[in-house]
Structure 1
Amino acid sequence: MNSSPSAAIDIHDLHVSYGRQRVLHGVDLSVAPGEFIAILGSSGCGKTTLLRTVAGFQKAAGGAIRLFGRDVVNMPPEKRGMAMMFQSYALWPHMTVMGNVGYGLRLRGVPKDEIRTRVAKILKMLNLSGLEDRKVTNLSGGQRQRVALGRALAIEPEILLLDEPLSNLDAKVRVQLRSELKSLQNQLGFTAIHVTHDREEAMTMADRIVVMDAGRIAQMGSPKEVFDRPNSPFVASFMGAENTIDLDVNPASKGIEVKADGAAATAWDGRAPPGRVTAYFRDDVASLVDPNARIDGSIVLPGTITQRTYPGGHYRYVVAIADRHFTVTDDDYHELDRPVGLRLPLASLHLFPTDPTKGGNHA
């Protein structure tokens, strides 16, 4: 892969090791100027290692990292011209808000009057005006994280790296800061890479999502593309399609014919790998119908309601099908132990050839 001269960040064949253990295995990623990329993955997948290597805190074992066409793979962090925001606030506890936000500017020798002007502008953006002289130890968690963001933005970076900066905040503040951070990125135009394990956070903030697994990129694309068209069982499960059922797929006159144990065959004008497949689906695509229903484009699995809860706005049911249990939301009240049909629209299923080593249905 050749470096793109228009890319803000161009990562090519990046390898990183901790001692003898290889952590990143030839990662390729190009980020356009002004783009917001979210890197998603479970613990140990390499997402934070990738971010720290781009920042210069972790040494690469091979490959290239180019920032606006300049190879920085062997440069120290302070020479790379980017800012980083950490999971922990990493603020100076003995300093005021003004002191923390202006810290990077002082290191760069910016005159005091200009520091005060630039910091005031940043604090206004972050709704922190009037707190200039307050110690950061006297702030709330959300205010501290805004100070950390202000410190990163004060140096006017072209690239901002975010290492799960919202994960320590409570849910309401996290959602609010999510919106503020995205709004600031649109307003200021910096390029951002945001590492997170929170799928909703990535979906609502990113222009593109990168899903990582075991030190490699499993899939990248727009949030809608990765959510609606996962390219593997791993990505399907990671994006919330954690329910699975094994199906038999055979060619039919109008596309395919799908069968499952205890369910009538359903023809669908669509495509799927022939033979034994595993269907991955999210709770919200399933619905409750009459167990004897025949619905074009869907397969109906006969089962029994075993649990019912009311979280608000709808009911949540657990449906037992043979030795499997599936969670379904439904607006209507249904009695326990009632026979029902679990309707699965085929267009909403992610179908992959069944792994013969796993055998049978699996949750």
Structure 2
Amino acid sequence: MDSSVSTAIDIDHLQVSYGSQQVLHGVNLSVASGEFIAILGSSGCGKTTLLRTIAGFQKAAGGAIRLFGRDVVNTPPEKRGMAMMFQSYALWPHMTVLGNVGYGLRLRGVPKDEIRARVANVLRMLNLSGLEGRKVTNLSGGQRQRVALGRALAIEPEILLLDEPLSNLDAKVRIQLRSEIKALQNRLGFTAIHVTHDREEAMTMADRIVVMDAGRIAQMGTPKEVYDQPNSPFVASFMGAENTIELDIRPSGSGVEVKADSGNPVSYSGSVPVGAVTAYFRDDVASLDDPRARIDGSIVLPGTITQRTYPGGHYRYVVAIGDRHFTVTDDRYHELDHAVGLRLPLESLHLFPTDHTKGGIHA
């Protein structure tokens, strides 16, 4: 890999259409050499189309794709110097492990002895040594996916594209392979773009996350940035902050006063939108308190416990506030129908003006 080129992939105003329907609307993305990017989004957001267009399997309608400075938007897939892992494994069922992992090398005219040596090295890295002669149809799902990864790595690609390669595996194997792929990427130094709809997978594997929505990039940043500082209601909800409450925030003295439909108003000195605001939050930021409590920096909403379960290590409660229900975890045991306060720290809420065309930020 040419270490003098710091940008491995530069996508410039990329557009893709299926017939008259535009699928990608001018996507811009720059990926550093050796970086691991996860493209995260729900079905139909354009993430797989973006990956296939980078690979060359889908034709671009406009824009540029530069790989290490070379525009490849009209270059066929086999001349782009990258490898791809598919969700379906895409292995040759009639071939052995050796045949599958060495397939790309054979196409490139690599001598048989060198193929065998390189495949043996790859299989050692993937804990598949000794399975060279086994048919892939006689392997477990996790082993097949390792073979698919081995086939991609055997050609020593500068760029590896991963199209939801772990979604068909059971949870334990999926977690194990996440760790193995990331460790190999760190060790070998290739650039990776991984498409997934699994938030945890993206968070644990990627250096940066790209959240896509309706053919556009909604937000990109480190996992912590996107998780802790979503830039829109869509990203907040997609990253797990699916609970919402309406607040009214007004300037008061040197700060603001925050009011909910129920509970006492709270003074706050942080930087927040003013006016009618929708607060998005994850279950884990809520806690249980006295319904009459007044706590600096938190709103406390009076409610009633309607459900209690014990998944292990803590209790999980459902708290009814009016006609809304919120899930809360708590270490303490509480009786059903017990009056409680749903405590929400304001600094942990993602606040967006309910009417996005109005409202400023109170500094």
Give the TM-score of the pair, scaled to structure 1: 0.96
Structure 2 match to 1:325: 325
Cα distance in 2, alignment partners of residues 80 and 73 from structure 1: 10
Letter in 1 for 2:224: K
Cα distance in 1, alignment partners of residues 145 and 189 from structure 2: 20
* Residue 204 of structure 2 is aligned to residue 190 of structure 1: no
Would the aligned equivalents of 1:250 and 1:256 in 2 still touch at CA under 8 Å? yes
* Residue 276 of structure 2 is aligned to residue 282 of structure 1: no
Structure 2 match to 1:170: 170
Would the aligned equivalents of 2:5 and 2:33 in 1 still touch at CA under 8 Å? no
Q: How does 1:119-268 map to 2 (within 5 A)?
A: 119-268=119-268
Give the match's secondary structure for 1:181.
helix
Cα distance in 1, alignment partners of residues 255 and 128 from structure 2: 60
| 1:255 Cα offset (Å) | 1.9
Give the match's secondary structure for 1:177.
helix
Structure 1 match to 2:299: 299
In the TM superposition, what whole-angstrom CA distance separates every residue of 1:193-222 from its partner, at most 9, and x where no partner exists? 000000000000000000000000000000
Cα distance in 1, alignment partners of residues 303 and 229 from structure 2: 28
* Residue 94 of structure 2 is aligned to residue 94 of structure 1: yes
Structure 2 match to 1:6: 6
Task: Provide the aligned C-alpha RMSD in A.
Answer: 1.1
Structure 2 match to 1:38: 38
Structure 2 match to 1:360: none
In the TM superposition, what whole-angstrom CA distance separates every residue of 1:265-298 from its partner, at most 9, and x where no partner exists? 1111201111000000000000000000000000
Q: How does 1:42-61 map to 2 (within 5 A)?
A: 42-61=42-61
* Residue 78 of structure 2 is aligned to residue 78 of structure 1: yes
Cα distance in 1, alignment partners of residues 8 and 89 from structure 2: 26
Cα distance in 2, alignment partners of residues 355 and 74 from structure 1: 44
CA 356–221 in structure 1, closer or farther in 2 if over 3 Å, else same: closer
| 1:88 Cα offset (Å) | 0.4
Cα distance in 1, alignment partners of residues 118 and 188 from structure 2: 14
Cα distance in 1, alignment partners of residues 163 and 199 from structure 2: 15
Structure 2 match to 1:361: none
Cα distance in 1, alignment partners of residues 27 and 315 from structure 2: 44
Deviates more, 1:246-255 or 1:227-236: 246-255
Give the match's secondary structure for 2:147.
helix
Cα distance in 1, alignment partners of residues 300 and 25 from structure 2: 43
Identity of aligned residues (%): 86
Letter in 2 for 1:124: R
Give the match's secondary structure for 1:75.
coil
In the TM superposition, what whole-angstrom CA distance separates every residue of 1:84-107 from its partner, at most 9, and x where no partner exists? 000001000000000000000000
Structure 2 match to 1:341: 341
Cα distance in 2, alignment partners of residues 227 and 69 from structure 1: 32
Letter in 1 for 2:245: I
Letter in 1 for 2:181: L
| 1:252 Cα offset (Å) | 2.1
Cα distance in 2, alignment partners of residues 5 and 34 from structure 1: 11
| 1:6 Cα offset (Å) | 2.8
Letter in 1 for 2:257: E
Would the aligned equivalents of 1:303 and 1:321 in 2 still touch at CA under 8 Å? yes
Deviates more, 1:5-14 or 1:191-200: 5-14
Cα distance in 2, alignment partners of residues 62 and 44 from structure 1: 20
Would the aligned equivalents of 1:254 and 1:267 in 2 still touch at CA under 8 Å? no
| 1:257 Cα offset (Å) | 1.2
Give the match's secondary structure for 2:118.
helix
Give the match's secondary structure for 1:263.
coil
Cα distance in 1, alignment partners of residues 10 and 259 from structure 2: 46
In the TM superposition, what whole-angstrom CA distance separates every residue of 1:149-201 from its partner, at most 9, and x where no partner exists? 00000000000000000000000000000000000000000000000000000
Letter in 2 for 1:115: I
Cα distance in 2, alignment partners of residues 348 and 173 from structure 1: 33
Letter in 2 for 1:104: G
- List gaps (5 residues or longer) in structure 1: 358-363
Give the match's secondary structure for 1:193.
strand
| 1:5 Cα offset (Å) | 5.6
Give the match's secondary structure for 2:100.
helix
Would the aligned equivalents of 1:279 and 1:351 in 2 still touch at CA under 8 Å? yes
Cα distance in 2, alignment partners of residues 253 and 134 from structure 1: 75
Give the match's secondary structure for 1:195.
strand
Structure 1 match to 2:28: 28
| 1:356 Cα offset (Å) | 8.2
Would the aligned equivalents of 2:209 and 2:226 in 1 still touch at CA under 8 Å? yes
Give the TM-score of the pair, scaled to structure 2: 0.96
Structure 1 match to 2:112: 112
- List gaps (5 residues or longer) in structure 2: 358-363
Letter in 1 for 2:154: A
Structure 1 match to 2:360: none
Would the aligned equivalents of 1:241 and 1:281 in 2 still touch at CA under 8 Å? yes
| 1:254 Cα offset (Å) | 3.6
